[in-house]
Structure 1
Amino acid sequence: MYSDDDAAALYDLLNPWDPARSPDNAFYDELVLAAPTVLDVGCGTGAMLHRAREQGHTGRLVGLDPDRPSLARARRRSDIEWVDGRAADAAWSGEFDLATMTSHAFQCLVGDEELRASLAAIRAALRPGGRFAFETRHPQARAWLEWNPANAVELTDGAGRALRIWHEVESADDAVVTFNSTTAAPDGTVLHRDRSSLRFLAPEALDYLLAEAGFTVEARYGDWHRGPVTATSREIVTVAVRA
Structure 2
Amino acid sequence: MYSDADAAALYDVLNPWDPDQRPEDRFYFPLVMGAESVLDVGCGTGAMLKLARERGHHGRLVGLDPDRAALDRARRRADVDWAEGTAADAKSGADFDLATMTGHAFQDLLTDHDVRASLTAVHGALRRGGCFVFETRHPQARAWEEWTSSNPDDVAEVVDDAGRALRYWHDVDSVIGDVVTIRGTVAEPDGTVLRVLSESLRFLDVAALNAFLADAGFEIEAQYGDWDREHLTSASREIITIARRG
**SS of corresponding position for 1:150:** coil
Tell me the CA shift for residue 161 of structure 1: 1.1
The amino acid that maps onto 1:39 is L
Name the residue aligned to 1:238: 241
Please point out which of 215, 220, 234 is paired with 2:223: 220
1:164 aligns with 2:159: no
1:136-151 pair list within 5 angstroms: 136-151=136-151
- Cα offset for 1:38? 0.3
Shift of residue 92, structure 1, vs aligned partner: 3.2
* Conserved 8 A contact 1:94-1:128: no
Matches within 5 A, 1:12-31: 12-31=12-31
SS at match of 2:166: strand
Contact 2:37 2:59 in 1 (8 A): yes
In the TM superposition, 1:1-243 aligns within 5 A as 1-151=1-151, 152-243=155-246
Distance 1:148 1:209 in 2: 31
For structure 2, list consecutive stretches of 5 or more residues without a partner in the other structure: none
Identity score, percent:
62
The one-character-per-residue Cα deviations of 1:142-190 (angstroms, maximum 9, x if unpaired) are: 0000111123222221212111111110111211100111101122221
Q: For the residues of structure 2 that align with 1:209 and 1:224, how far apart are their CA atoms?
A: 23
SS of 2:161's equivalent in the other structure is: coil
State how far apart, in whole Å, the 1-side matches of 2:37 and 2:29 are.
13
Unaligned runs of 5+ in 1: none
TM-score (ref. length: structure 1): 0.98
User: Aligned partner of 2:184: which letter?
Assistant: S
Moved more, 206-215 or 184-193: 184-193
Deviation at 1:89, TM superposition (A): 2.0
Q: Could you tell me how far apart the structure 1 residues matched to 2:59 and 2:181 are?
A: 38
| Distance across 1 between alignment mates of 2:190 and 2:20 | 35
> What do you get for the CA RMSD once the two structures are aligned?
0.9
Deviation at 1:91, TM superposition (A): 2.2
> Aligned partners of 2:11, 2:94: CA distance in 1, in Å?
32
Shift of residue 23, structure 1, vs aligned partner? 1.1
**SS of corresponding position for 2:127:** strand
> Does structure 1 conserve the Cα–Cα contact (< 8 Å) formed by 2:101 and 2:135?
yes
Q: Partners of 2:22 and 2:158 in 1: how far apart?
A: 20
Q: Partner letter of residue 165 of structure 2?
A: A
Deviation at 1:90, TM superposition (A): 2.1
Partner letter of residue 91 of structure 1? K
> Number of residues paired by the alignment?
243
Shift of 1:94: 4.1
Runs of 4+ in 1 over 6 A off after TM superposition: none
Question: SS of 1:28's equivalent?
Answer: helix
Query: What SS does the corresponding residue of 1:187 show, helix, strand or coil?
Result: coil
Partner of 1:149: helix, strand, or coil? coil
> Following TM superposition, by how much is the alpha carbon of 1:18 offset from its aligned partner in structure 2, in angstroms?
0.6
Report if the CA contact (8 A) 2:226-2:238 is conserved: yes
